[in-house]
A and B are shown apart, each in its own frame.
Chain A
């Protein structure tokens, strides 16, 4: 299983109710079900992946995660997982608010655009970074949101979201090996993973309110 998914799995307690958005072939859900007895549901758009999940005994719905989430009652899940998908979401603020409605906790992971290689590429070549983690050109990328770990933390503050856990990891795209980055996370981490819940101190002002920018 992908390294970021291993970290996410380690945060989930046995028997929890879990919703995995963009669950793909269901690797995480299957692992959680087998090892922790979680009651999991997945949402996935692609028919072949949905079929693969259901055939392997998972509960999975074919559909768009933005609309599928809306049908669930409040706090229907203990954990809602959005792994490596936030950067492809059209309205991230709306979606995350919705996830915090249906889930007690939300786990979000995304490729960190603030990684030093990305910064260096832009600085040196003057071109939008293309890397192992962000392997697309500007014109064909599904990643319509450029997020850094620092950006997400700012976003959480602005949204009144409590960050309960945060981890930066350095791993290769879709690889099982990796390590946690403790120092200079926004420079050295290739992915950020956050465990969030509602109920942080919400700032009065919206975004762009003149917060300090740093490394």
Chain B
């Protein structure tokens, strides 16, 4: 989704040059036991950090990326690299997540294809890419892997976990899986579980990949890739990230580089051309099998499972202060889903703030520049920081 931000805002401060690092763990026989019961390892996580970890290690913020994101949250890979990280607008000196104050960590998820172990990684047992031999992973498994990374970095407690969409699911999972390790949480534009509608869109996207003859049961790494299937999957996803209003305003029924219909199946409309472009661009950077695995993980996620079917019981395990944010035009994870979460948090006695931001851009609004979102996150983090460092240490406190 980072295609929205193709260049740095001229006068905005940046974290500057960052480096992608790698951490490998769970080498056999110390495999990670996945939620499916499978034992898996070794696991490598690609991660990046910005800012400086305080000597007490108490200023760390873990940012969790969405479906197609990666560890490159902010900054650039070199002084001449024109493309900043996917949340450059939010993460940096003096920004909503101020790297002058906080130490920011972002890792590519388990199952991804941006440096962390996933279906495109080499299976050490065979020397070939895993393909479909890669085990099905869950949001919980991703969080377990992130926890191992934090242990490695010597961070016992996070000041905050922050993420949108599938990243928001990981935020929620963190709060109930490791409650004592999270002081505050910011789930953005997310849901405690997928609706049938969201699963349906994911399934159509997966089918388009699997229907591509090049997919070849996931064994395509030596030859032609299922680019067509993946591009269509991206087009479907992209539609769900926008909104009726956003598409009407951005494209309407305008034609692309022509004044009349072609009377064939070229991209007549601007919206067609845009989606084709997004699809083509996406296949350059994303692995089709990863898309299958990650969408499956998102579909499987149901936070209520952590509370025996009750969302309130699940949140009763959490100890974090929450800031929940939704966006008015997000129909993929609509405000009603966030309200359900907030309701359950209130029932469980959690300290929660909630804001629905007026935004016309649909689900992707959380990635777009929003002074309001920056202001919310900055203020919330500042308060958590003060409470954690001040007299009234609110740890574990049900602060109504």
User: Which residues of A pack against B, CB within 8 Å?
Assistant: 17, 19, 37, 39, 41, 47, 50-51, 53-63, 71-73, 76-77
In the bound assembly, the distance between CA atoms of A61 and B346 in angstroms comes to 10
Contact count band on B: 20 to 34
A54/B347 in contact, CB under 8 A = no
In the bound assembly, the distance between CA atoms of A83 and B321 in angstroms comes to 26
The 6 closest A-B pairs by CB, nearest first: A55-B379, A57-B383, A71-B346, A39-B399, A61-B354, A17-B400
In the complex where A19-B400, A57-B386 touch, is A37 in contact with B392 (Cβ < 8 A)?
yes
Within 8 A of A (CB), among B361-400: 372, 375-376, 378-380, 382-383, 386, 392, 399-400
In the complex where A54-B379, A55-B378 touch, is A72 in contact with B323 (Cβ < 8 A)?
no
B380/A54 in contact, CB under 8 A = yes
In the bound assembly, the distance between CA atoms of A135 and B254 in angstroms comes to 49
User: Which residues of B pack against A, CB within 8 Å?
Assistant: 321, 323, 339, 342-343, 346-347, 349, 351-358, 372, 375-376, 378-380, 382-383, 386, 392, 399-400
In the bound assembly, the distance between CA atoms of A50 and B355 in angstroms comes to 7
Which one of A39, A58, A71 lies within 8 Å of B343 (CB-CB)?
Answer: A71
A-B residue pairs in contact (CB < 8 Å), sample of 8: A17-B399, A39-B351, A57-B386, A59-B351, A60-B355, A61-B352, A62-B355, A76-B349
Please name all residues of chain A whose beta carbon is closer than 8 Å to the beta carbon of B347 when the two chains form the complex. Answer: 71-73
In the complex where A37-B392, A72-B346 touch, is A54 in contact with B353 (Cβ < 8 A)?
yes
In the complex where A17-B400, A73-B347 touch, is A55 in contact with B375 (Cβ < 8 A)?
yes
In the bound assembly, the distance between CA atoms of A60 and B321 in angstroms comes to 12
Minimum CB–CB distance from B339 to chain A (whole Å) comes to 7
**Which of B346, B375, B378: most chain A Cβ within 10 A?**
B346
Please name all residues of chain B whose beta carbon is closer than 8 Å to the beta carbon of A39 when the two chains form the complex. Answer: 351, 399-400
In the complex where A19-B400, A41-B400, A76-B349 touch, is A62 in contact with B379 (Cβ < 8 A)?
no
Please name all residues of chain A whose beta carbon is closer than 8 Å to the beta carbon of B357 when the two chains form the complex. Answer: 47, 51
In the bound assembly, the distance between CA atoms of A28 and B25 in angstroms comes to 51
Considering only CB atoms, which chain A residue lies closest to B357 in the complex? Answer: A47
Please name all residues of chain B whose beta carbon is closer than 8 Å to the beta carbon of A59 when the two chains form the complex. Answer: 321, 351-353, 399
Minimum CB–CB distance from A66 to chain B (whole Å) comes to 14
In the complex where A37-B392, A51-B355, A73-B347 touch, is A57 in contact with B339 (Cβ < 8 A)?
no
B376/A55 in contact, CB under 8 A = yes
In the bound assembly, the distance between CA atoms of A71 and B380 in angstroms comes to 23
In addition to A47-B356, A55-B380, A71-B342, 13 A-B residue pairs with Cβ atoms within 8 Å of each other are A17-B399, A37-B392, A47-B372, A51-B372, A54-B380, A57-B380, A57-B382, A59-B321, A60-B355, A62-B356, A63-B354, A72-B400, A77-B400
In the bound assembly, the distance between CA atoms of A106 and B357 in angstroms comes to 30
In the complex where A39-B400, A54-B379, A63-B339 touch, is A73 in contact with B355 (Cβ < 8 A)?
no
Which one of A19, A47, A76, A77 lies within 8 Å of B355 (CB-CB)?
Answer: A47
Please name all residues of chain A whose beta carbon is closer than 8 Å to the beta carbon of B400 when the two chains form the complex. Answer: 17, 19, 39, 41, 72, 76-77
In the bound assembly, the distance between CA atoms of A85 and B34 in angstroms comes to 52
In the bound assembly, the distance between CA atoms of A22 and B159 in angstroms comes to 30
Minimum CB–CB distance from B211 to chain A (whole Å) comes to 43
In the bound assembly, the distance between CA atoms of A150 and B365 in angstroms comes to 51
In the bound assembly, the distance between CA atoms of A39 and B321 in angstroms comes to 13
In the bound assembly, the distance between CA atoms of A168 and B354 in angstroms comes to 35
B392/A51 in contact, CB under 8 A = no
Please name all residues of chain A whose beta carbon is closer than 8 Å to the beta carbon of B342 when the two chains form the complex. Answer: 61, 71
Please name all residues of chain B whose beta carbon is closer than 8 Å to the beta carbon of A57 when the two chains form the complex. Answer: 379-380, 382-383, 386
Please name all residues of chain B whose beta carbon is closer than 8 Å to the beta carbon of A60 when the two chains form the complex. Answer: 353-355
In the bound assembly, the distance between CA atoms of A47 and B325 in angstroms comes to 11
In the bound assembly, the distance between CA atoms of A37 and B392 in angstroms comes to 9
Considering only CB atoms, which chain B residue lies closest to A42 in the complex? Answer: B353
**Which of B321, B339, B354: most chain A Cβ within 10 A?**
B354
